Structure 1
Amino acid sequence: MSDAISFEEPWARTHQFDPPAIFESLRAERPLARMVYPDGHVGWITSSYELARSVLSDPRFSHSTEIGHFPVTHRGQVMPNHPRIPGMFIHMDPPHHTHYRRMLTGEFTARRAGRLAARAETVAAEQIDAMRAHGSPADLVKHYAKPLSLRILSELVGLPYEEADRYGHAPTLLHDPDADPQEAMTAMGQAAAFFAEVVERRRKEPQDDLISRLIADGQLSDEELCNIVTLLLFAGYETTESALAVGVFALLQHPAQLAALRADPGKLDAAIEEFLRYLTVNQYDTYRTALEDIELGGETVKKGDSVTVSLPAANRDPAKFACPAELDIDRETSGHMAFGFGIHQCLGQNLARVELRAGFSALLGAFPDLGLAVAPEEVPLRLQGSVFAVKSLPVSW
C-alpha cells in the first residue's frame, strides 16, 4: 500500500535517546498507521499513548503465537505460528496466561521486592568496590550494570551466579541483532540445559528461591519450570541492566538534572520513573494480532492484522506528557508505559525498581565526580533490537 510505512522506519533512531522522528508526524497525521512487515504482511503501528493503551488492554487483540500473524524478530526473520510452549506464558492469552501468571504474582509484589532492597544495596556496594578495584576509567556496563542486574535476578530465581558463564551470555546474544544467530542459538541451548540441571538440584536440595517454591507447589512440570526460568531471565536481565546504564548515560549529559538529584537524593524514585519514561529501553517487541475486525482510531483493523505498539512513542506523546522530549526528574510520570500495559504488563517491574534504586543510589553516592571517559558520540549504542542499550559506557571519577 502506497501510504504504508516500512517496518524499518520506526526503529531508525537518529539521536541517542529519542525515538525516530517519524513518530512525531505519524502521531499528528495518522496515529494508527499502516506498516509493511518484512514478509509483505501489511499491518499497523500505533504512535499515540491513547491507542497504545487501547490495544494492550483490549482482549480482542491476541499475543498468542498460535493465532494470526507473528510478525518478525529483530533479526528480520518471520516467525511461523506454533503451539503454546509450556510455561512460556508471555505469548499466551487467557486462560492459559492467567494460569501461569497467577503462580508468579506473589513472587513479584512490591512488598516481596521491597524485602530484597537491603540485598540489592549490598550487591550494589560490592560492585562499586569492584569498580574501584579496577580503577578509573571503567566500563559501567561490564563492571556495574550487568553484574548488578544479573546477580539480583539470579538470587531471586535460584540460579547460582558463580556459574553465570553457563547462562549469562544467552540473553545478551538474543537481544543483540548484530550477534551471530548460530552463536545465540548455541548459548540458548547451553542455558536451557543448565536450567534443567538447576531444577534437578533444587528438587534434591530446596533453597529459599523461586525455583524451589515452584517445585514445592507441585503444579509445574520440569519443562514448564525451565521455560519460566528462561522467560524471567530473558525478560528481566537485559532490560534492567540497560535501563540503569542508559539512564546513567542520559543523566551525565543533563548536568542540571544530575545536580538537582545530587542536591536532593529524595528525588531518586521520581527520577527513576522519568528515566524509564524518557528512555523506554523496551523498544521493539510489543505487538498484538486482531482476533476480529476492530474499529480503532478511525480505522478498521481486520481480523488477523498485526498491530505493533511503540512504547517509546507512547511515552513521548505530548497529549499525555508536557514537553515529552525533555528529561525532567520533577515531572509527573504516572501512567508511563515503560513496562507495557494490560495483562502482559511487566511482571518484574517492582524488582526492576528496587535494582535501579540501589544501582543509582550507590553509584551517585560513591562517585561525586563521576563523568564520561569518552565523548558522548563515542559511546557505542545498540539502537535496534528489542532492547535499546549502550554496548559499553566508559566512565571516570
Structure 2
Amino acid sequence: MELDDATLHFPFDTGPGGTHPTEFDALRGFCPVAPVVLPSGDRAWLASRYDDILTVLGDPRFSRRPDIPGAPRLVAAYDGTMVKDMIVAMDAPEHTRIRRIVQGAFTPRRIRTWQPRVQAVADDLLDAFAASPGRTGDIYEGFALPLPIRIISELLGIPEADAASFRRWTEMGLSLTRWTREELVAAHREYIAYVATLIAERRAAPPVSDEDDADLLDALVSARDDDDRLSETELVNLVRALISAGHETTATVFSRGLYTLLTHPEQLALLRAEPERLNDAVEEILRFVPPGSGGTPRIVTTELELGGVTVRPGEGVVAPFGVANRDPARFPDPDRFDITRDPAGHIAFGHGPHHCLGVHLARLELRTAFETVLRRLPDLELAVPASELAWSEGLRVLKLQALPVRW
C-alpha cells in the first residue's frame, strides 16, 4: 500500500454527542497504519493502534519539524515558517534546551503550592456562577474557561483583561477549515505582536526585588536577557505557546468531562457517593475525552516499518492521542465510560519528549474544578437535551460551544 492509495479523509466525523469515530475500530483490524488525505490535501499515514502511536510519539526518527522540505501539512493555510522556533515544532537538542528552561515552573512540588490559589479562584467563579438568575447558566463560559485563564494569567503575570484576544488567537490556531489563510496569517502576526509588547513592558518595568515575587514571564525574560538561553523569537513563541496551552485544553476537558458525567448518571451518582474516587474519575475523563488531538503529522527521517507498512523519509504519520486511548488491546471495552477502571497508561497528555509540560497544573485545575462543582451544586443537570448541544466544527479539537446547566 502506498500513500497515493489514500481515499480516507482525516479527521473523521464524530458521532452524535461527540462520540468517538467508528472508522478507527475498523482500521485497527485490517489496516492499522492507513494512508489518509489531510484537510490540506496532502497525504499521510494514520496510526490507530496504541503501540504504534507510542512508537511515533516517542521514537526520534519521527520529527516534529514541519519545515522539513515536502513535509505534509495538516492545514493548507499554515506552513512550516509560521511555527518555526516554537517548542512544539522542535526536535532535540533545541527542544530539550527550551523545555529545561521552563519545566522548573511546572514540577509537582511547584504546582502543589498553587493549590490554595486554584481553589480560591474556583470558589470565586462558582460564587458568581451560582448566583445566576433562574439557577441556570452556561458553565463553559461562566466557570470552565475563566478558571484556567485566570490561573495562567497569574502564573505568567499577564492581564486577565486580555483574555478575549488570546482566546480568539488560540482558537484560530486550532483551525482546520474555519478561517482563510489571510485571516490566520493576520491572527498569527497579531498574537506575536501582543506577546512582544508584553515582553517589552516587562523589560521597562522596575526589576523585582524579591525573587519569590517574580512570575514565570520574569524568569523567561531573564533567561533571554541575562543568560542568553533563548533567542528573542524563541522567547516570544514560548510565551505564546504557554498562554494558549494553559487555558484552552483544560477548559475543553472540563466541559466535555462534565457533559460525560451528566450523560452517565450512574457514574455521576457513584462519584457523588464515593468522592474519594475523584482522582480516578479525572483520569478516566482524560482517557475518554483527551485535551489534545495529536493530529499534527510527525515526519519520518529514516525508512522504517510501522504496523506492517514501510514508511519512507519525508512522509508523515498522524498518531492521535485519543485513538490510542480507545484501543481495546490496551483498555478493555474502551468506549465504556467507567470511573472504576484503571486508566493507567492513557496518553491524554501525549508521550515521549513532547509530553505536555503543564500536565501537573492541568490535573490540579481539573481535580479542583470537578470537586468544587460537584460538591457545591448537588442537583446539577443539563438544562437542554443532550441532542441540542452544539459542537465545534472545523477545529483540531472537539469542544462544546456551550454547556447550559441548571442546579
Does TM, scored on the shorter chain, surpass 0.5? yes
Q: 1:370-381 maps to which residues of 2 (within 5 A)? A: 370-381=380-391
Asked if the contact 2:125/2:147 (under 8 Å) is kept, the reply is yes
Q: In structure 1, what is the equivalent of residue 140 of structure 2?
A: 141
Shift of the 392–70 alpha-carbon distance from structure 1 to 2, 3 Å rule, reads farther
Letter in 1 for 2:253: A
Distance in 2, Cα, partners of 1:95 & 1:162: 36
Asked if the contact 2:49/2:323 (under 8 Å) is kept, the reply is yes
Q: Which residue of 9, 14, 27 corresponds with 1:7?
A: 9
Q: Which residue of 215, 220, 227 corresponds with 1:209?
A: 215
Q: 1:199-278 maps to which residues of 2 (within 5 A)? A: 199-203=199-203, 204-205=205-206, 206=208, 207-217=213-223, 218=226, 219=228, 220-278=230-288
Asked if the contact 2:41/2:76 (under 8 Å) is kept, the reply is no
Deviations 1:63-102 (A, max 9, x none): 11232544334xx42644439733x111011111111011
Shift of the 69–117 alpha-carbon distance from structure 1 to 2, 3 Å rule, reads farther
Asked if the contact 1:68/1:289 (under 8 Å) is kept, the reply is no
Q: In structure 1, what is the equivalent of residue 293 of structure 2?
A: 283
What SS does structure 2 have at the residue aligned with 1:395?
strand
Distance in 1, Cα, partners of 2:189 & 2:97: 26
What SS does structure 1 have at the residue aligned with 2:15?
coil
- 2:318 matched to 1:308? yes
Deviations 1:321-351 (A, max 9, x none): 0110011111111110111111011111111
What SS does structure 1 have at the residue aligned with 2:219?
helix
Distance in 1, Cα, partners of 2:148 & 2:71: 30
Shift of 1:57: 1.0
Q: In structure 1, what is the equivalent of residue 119 of structure 2?
A: 121
Q: In structure 1, what is the equivalent of residue 353 of structure 2?
A: 343
Shift of the 225–41 alpha-carbon distance from structure 1 to 2, 3 Å rule, reads closer
Of the structure 1 ranges 154-163 and 329-338, higher mean CA displacement relative to structure 2 is found in: 154-163
Shift of the 133–40 alpha-carbon distance from structure 1 to 2, 3 Å rule, reads closer
Distance in 2, Cα, partners of 1:294 & 1:92: 21
Q: In structure 2, what is the equivalent of residue 324 of structure 1?
A: 334
Asked if the contact 1:89/1:100 (under 8 Å) is kept, the reply is yes
Shift of the 42–164 alpha-carbon distance from structure 1 to 2, 3 Å rule, reads closer
Letter in 2 for 1:65: P
Shift of 1:49: 0.4
- 2:173 matched to 1:167? no
Deviations 1:276-331 (A, max 9, x none): 10112412533201001111111110111110112221100010001100111111
Distance in 2, Cα, partners of 1:276 & 1:290: 28
Structure 2: tracts of 5 or more residues without a match: none
Of the structure 1 ranges 283-292 and 140-149, higher mean CA displacement relative to structure 2 is found in: 283-292
Distance in 2, Cα, partners of 1:191 & 1:310: 27
Deviations 1:216-247 (A, max 9, x none): 33333443222111111222321111000111
What SS does structure 1 have at the residue aligned with 2:295?
coil
Q: In structure 2, what is the equivalent of residue 29 of structure 1?
A: 30
Distance in 2, Cα, partners of 1:38 & 1:172: 17
Shift of the 38–390 alpha-carbon distance from structure 1 to 2, 3 Å rule, reads closer
Shift of the 367–26 alpha-carbon distance from structure 1 to 2, 3 Å rule, reads same
Letter in 1 for 2:248: E
What SS does structure 2 have at the residue aligned with 1:131?
helix
TM-score, with normalisation over the residues of structure 1? Answer: 0.93
Of the structure 1 ranges 254-263 and 106-115, higher mean CA displacement relative to structure 2 is found in: 106-115
Q: In structure 2, what is the equivalent of residue 91 of structure 1?
A: 89
Shift of 1:30: 1.4
Number of equivalent positions: 393
Q: In structure 1, what is the equivalent of residue 149 of structure 2?
A: 150
Distance in 1, Cα, partners of 2:186 & 2:77: 20
Shift of the 35–171 alpha-carbon distance from structure 1 to 2, 3 Å rule, reads same
What is the CA RMSD across the aligned residues, in angstroms?
2.1
Distance in 1, Cα, partners of 2:234 & 2:84: 8
Asked if the contact 2:43/2:72 (under 8 Å) is kept, the reply is no
Distance in 2, Cα, partners of 1:142 & 1:208: 30
Q: In structure 1, what is the equivalent of residue 195 of structure 2?
A: 195
Shift of 1:186: 4.3
Asked if the contact 2:297/2:318 (under 8 Å) is kept, the reply is yes
Shift of 1:275: 0.3
Shift of the 58–210 alpha-carbon distance from structure 1 to 2, 3 Å rule, reads same
What SS does structure 2 have at the residue aligned with 1:289?
strand
What SS does structure 2 have at the residue aligned with 1:381?
coil
Distance in 2, Cα, partners of 1:107 & 1:293: 38
Q: Percent identity?
A: 37
Letter in 1 for 2:66: T
Deviations 1:30-73 (A, max 9, x none): 11112233555432100010100011111111111232544334
